A and B are shown apart, each in its own frame.
Chain A
Amino acid sequence: MLWTIIALIILMFFVGLAAWLIFLWAVKTGQFDDIERPKHRMMDDES
């Protein structure tokens, strides 16, 4: 029983870690640099 819990905790930890790594990647590649502009971009003329 205890080992099941520990295994699950470790599994959970790695799922969380994966999410964290994705977050790190997102910040490093500038995904969060401008969260205001992209939502208006579709209104722009492509000129």
Chain B
Amino acid sequence: MLHAASASFLCDHCLLPITGHEIVLDDHPAGRKTFCCHACRAIYRMIQEEGLGDFYAKRDWRSAGIPEPLRRPDLQGTETLPGEAGPFIPTISSNGSFNEADLMLDGIRCASCVWLNEKVLERTPGVLSARVNFATHRALIRWDSSKTTLGSIISRIRSIGYLARPYTPAAREEALRRQNRDLLLRLGTAFFFSMQLMLLSFGLYAGYFQAIDRSTKQWLELFALLVCTPVIFYGGWPFLRGAFRAVLNQMLNMDVLIALGALSAYVLSIYRMFTGGEVYFDTAAMIITLVLLGRYLESSAQKNASQAVSRLLALQPKNARVLRGEDRIIIDASAVRKGDLIEVRPGETIPLDGTVRRGSTEADESLVTGETEAAIKTAGSRVIGGSMNGLGTIIVEVTHIGQEMVIARIAELVELAQAAAAPIQRVADRVSTYFIPFVIAAAAATYWYWYHSFSAGQAAIIAVSVLVIACPCALGLATPVAILAGTGAAARKGILVKGGDILERMHKVDAVLLDKTGTVTTGKMSIVEVMAVQSAIRDPQSAILQYAASVEQGSEHLLGAAIIRYAREQGISIIPSVSFIAVPGQGASATVAGKRVIVGKRALLEQEGVVILPEVSSPARRLENDGGTVVYVSRENELLGIIGLMDTPKPDAAEAVLRLKRTGITVAMITGDNRETARVIADRTGIEEVLAGVLPGGKSEEVGSLKRSGRVVAMVGDGINDAPALAAADVGMAMASGSDIAMESADVVIMRSDLASVADAFDLSRRTFRVIKQNLFWAFFYNVAAIPLAMAGFLSPIIAAAAMAVSSITVVLNSLRLR
């Protein structure tokens, strides 16, 4: 339907050809416009109403978004693309009915580019789906290979002005690396010349205190000018350019403040060289060098995270040993399908995510969870691709491959976090917006005052010296150093924050909703009590456990698994059982050592004619009131005793709740269980508010009503049913042990799945923000304190240098406290 042959009109917004019956008309003052869809018309109207009609006159989608250097020779193959050729082959994966390719789109600038690409591709015949990620510029395209080719999809993308390249982590890293190298060159150059400059400046300082003869001073100043110039105009070029752009757009930001300070110091110094007086070359150069250092720290933090991603992905072994009948064949890990059985031998790295089917082992999952203790894996346990197998051989059924694997998703989260890290930087920009008018006003007032006492020239010099001292050099360091220290500390604690703005929202949170199962509690049943009926058998408690475990070994029930685990922990041997019968929802029976044993609910045993002795009734009722589950065990229709099981709170839950409460956060528990059960857990962990009996879909409504009452809400959960609530909350925090959907909906992922990490995360966000604010204060403090001196005409290079050095050192040391 989009073939040019059948189209007589082009859409005025998206320039796609329109077929007759799809046309949407709109009468506009500028004439009748034609659109391919109502969305385009709506956007066209919106753009016109915003007074941005020029967009249509200025745009040139043939050239938009592709700077000329990107048309590199090695990409020429993609320009013609006869079918599926060139560098794209490795990124195509065929998945039966459709093909899939991961592309990187050059030229994505805004959300509307994403929208445009997705829409255009989805309308292309043969394309099944297209998803473009704004942050990573990554497009995942699925198409029907019988209807279209990748070549025509790429030319389609090119026709709207974007360049598609195969997406690889390497391509992204290459872009980051180039940017980092440029910054390093500027920083290094600024450092070397600033060093030379400082040596000369110390000579001048000495001269200031001890007197210096005029010709020596002039020589020193000349050399100072020589080494200062490259710092300002090469090192400082990004800021000068940024400031120029900002002023053109009638905006004030940090770049403007830096350019103002550095340039006024530079110009004033050149003027003073000829007329006599002190020079401020060192101030000008130091401002630039320190801000560059801040940018470099930021960028290398990004690069480190990006390398961490590559390293994470590199952990996945290239090959897997697949079971084909009785044979074991080694094939490429990417060729393994879901449901395949793979064998992992001792000491090998587990290649893919899956469930253990046979064997048991210990796996080292420290890389994913940060947990140093090895996790015990038996039949039914989930294993994570990239983790290290211990001393057992296991057969694993593969459940997740490729992009669905845990490590691939973590890598994606890290990438997103990097791309979204910017908002905190705006704090410095925002402060600058208020500070610049203040500085200019102070300079103007100074000029006006001195104009009446001195000549206009003298007054101008004093006014400029106000501008020189007002620029805080530590401003560029204030946020990056604090964020670097803060995110580093978070990562070490196993807390993954998806973006910088989330850190900002987190410190405003005043209510935390904790999901009960899996968040406050372990989510697993564990045995809290074994009570034997007074009878003749020896060692009654272990006998009960032994019988129960022996029966349950045939069952797959959750309670059964808990009983077996507990019996093993107690060192009780499990006897083989025969003629196992499970009664769903009731229990099970089997013959153990020649005797018929029934394990299950009271009703099942009564049905079988077992007499429930009154002595177990009251403990059973107590356990049930506490939210526990009671399992009755009988042998040969004689009651042996009961086993009480309960979902217990995590060991650190009470302490974590207390920590949260101490910081003034209201802690509430949300659960679908009845009030009594929930109350027991809440009391044991010190949670005051309980939202019990909430239906699965009701959690997000509870979050919504809390938000409406003016609270800033964080939701902590791990289940699929928590996902909407996680997304609805101001900050959603998911446990990494939980469902994938929960992790995707959350802003923060807690790798260690304990509540202490939740408390740590809030603590850290609060401290990081406090440090940023303190840093900004100290960055400005010394300079602002020196402004009156400059206004009075007493500013000397020594004071300027001292203000710079002291404020920078204060900022760096203050940030290091976060470690």
Residues of A within 8 A of B (CB): 2, 5-6, 9, 12-13, 16, 19-20, 23-24, 27, 32-34, 36-37
A13-B223, A27-B184 given; A5·B304 CB < 8 A: no
Residues of B within 8 A of A (CB): 177, 180-181, 184-185, 188-189, 192-193, 195-196, 199-200, 213, 215-216, 219-220, 223, 227, 304, 307
Q: Which residue of A lies closest to B195 (CB)?
A: A16
Is B181 touching A20 in the complex (CB atoms < 8 A)?
Answer: no
Query: Which of A9, A20, A27 meets B223, CB within 8 Å?
Result: A9
Is B181 touching A27 in the complex (CB atoms < 8 A)?
Answer: yes
**Could you list 7 A-B pairs, sorted by A, with CB under 8 Å?**
A9-B219, A9-B223, A12-B196, A16-B196, A23-B192, A32-B184, A36-B304
Which residues does chain A contribute within 8 Å of B192, judged by CB atoms?
Answer: 16, 19-20, 23
Which residues does chain B contribute within 8 Å of A13, judged by CB atoms?
Answer: 196, 223, 227
Quote the shortest CB–CB distance from A10 to chain B (angstroms). 8
Is B199 touching A12 in the complex (CB atoms < 8 A)?
Answer: yes
Is B189 touching A20 in the complex (CB atoms < 8 A)?
Answer: yes
Quote the shortest CB–CB distance from A24 to chain B (angstroms). 7
Cα distance, A12 to B219, chains bound together (Å): 14
Which residues does chain B contribute within 8 Å of A19, judged by CB atoms?
Answer: 192
Cα distance, A25 to B392, chains bound together (Å): 51
Is B304 touching A23 in the complex (CB atoms < 8 A)?
Answer: no
Cα distance, A20 to B184, chains bound together (Å): 12
A20-B189, A36-B307 given; A2·B215 CB < 8 A: yes
Which residues does chain A contribute within 8 Å of B189, judged by CB atoms?
Answer: 20, 23-24
A12-B199, A27-B185 given; A33·B177 CB < 8 A: yes
Q: Which residue of A lies closest to B192 (CB)?
A: A20
Which residues does chain A contribute within 8 Å of B180, judged by CB atoms?
Answer: 33
Number of A-B contacts (CB under 8 A): 44
Which residues does chain A contribute within 8 Å of B227, judged by CB atoms?
Answer: 13
A-B pairs with the 6 shortest C-beta distances? A20-B192, A23-B188, A16-B196, A27-B185, A9-B223, A2-B216
Which residues does chain A contribute within 8 Å of B196, judged by CB atoms?
Answer: 12-13, 16
Which residues does chain B contribute within 8 Å of A37, judged by CB atoms?
Answer: 307
Cα distance, A13 to B223, chains bound together (Å): 9
Quote the shortest CB–CB distance from A33 to chain B (angstroms). 6
Q: Is the interface of B mostly helix, strand, loop or mixed?
A: helix
Q: Which residue of A lies closest to B213 (CB)?
A: A2
Is B219 touching A5 in the complex (CB atoms < 8 A)?
Answer: yes
A2-B215, A12-B196 given; A24·B223 CB < 8 A: no
Cα distance, A20 to B220, chains bound together (Å): 21
Is B185 touching A24 in the complex (CB atoms < 8 A)?
Answer: yes
Quote the shortest CB–CB distance from B752 to chain A (angstroms). 24
Quote the shortest CB–CB distance from A8 to chain B (angstroms). 10
Which residues does chain A contribute within 8 Å of B185, judged by CB atoms?
Answer: 24, 27
Quote the shortest CB–CB distance from A6 to chain B (angstroms). 6
Which residues does chain B contribute within 8 Å of A23, judged by CB atoms?
Answer: 188-189, 192
Q: Which residue of A lies closest to B223 (CB)?
A: A9
Which residues does chain B contribute within 8 Å of A5, judged by CB atoms?
Answer: 216, 219
Quote the shortest CB–CB distance from B555 to chain A (angstroms). 45
Cα distance, A32 to B185, chains bound together (Å): 10
A13-B227, A20-B192 given; A33·B219 CB < 8 A: no
Cα distance, A7 to B227, chains bound together (Å): 16
Query: Which of A6, A12, A27, A34 meets B188, CB within 8 Å?
Result: A27
Which residues does chain A contribute within 8 Å of B220, judged by CB atoms?
Answer: 9
Given contacts A2-B216, A24-B189, A33-B181, 17 further A-B contacts (CB under 8 A): A2-B219, A6-B219, A9-B200, A9-B219, A12-B199, A13-B196, A13-B227, A16-B196, A19-B192, A20-B188, A20-B193, A23-B188, A23-B189, A27-B184, A32-B184, A33-B180, A36-B304
Cα distance, A19 to B192, chains bound together (Å): 8
Cα distance, A19 to B213, chains bound together (Å): 31
Q: Which residue of B lies closest to A21 (CB)?
A: B192
Which residues does chain B contribute within 8 Å of A24, judged by CB atoms?
Answer: 185, 188-189
Quote the shortest CB–CB distance from B198 to chain A (angstroms). 11
Quote the shortest CB–CB distance from B169 to chain A (angstroms). 14
Quote the shortest CB–CB distance from A37 to chain B (angstroms). 8
Which residues does chain B contribute within 8 Å of A33, judged by CB atoms?
Answer: 177, 180-181
Quote the shortest CB–CB distance from B184 to chain A (angstroms). 6
Cα distance, A16 to B230, chains bound together (Å): 14
Cα distance, A19 to B223, chains bound together (Å): 18
Quote the shortest CB–CB distance from B215 to chain A (angstroms). 6
Cα distance, A27 to B223, chains bound together (Å): 26
Quote the shortest CB–CB distance from A16 to chain B (angstroms). 5
Cα distance, A13 to B193, chains bound together (Å): 9
Cα distance, A23 to B189, chains bound together (Å): 9
Q: Which residue of A lies closest to B185 (CB)?
A: A27
Quote the shortest CB–CB distance from B50 to chain A (angstroms). 44
Q: Which residue of B lies closest to A19 (CB)?
A: B192
Cα distance, A39 to B443, chains bound together (Å): 52
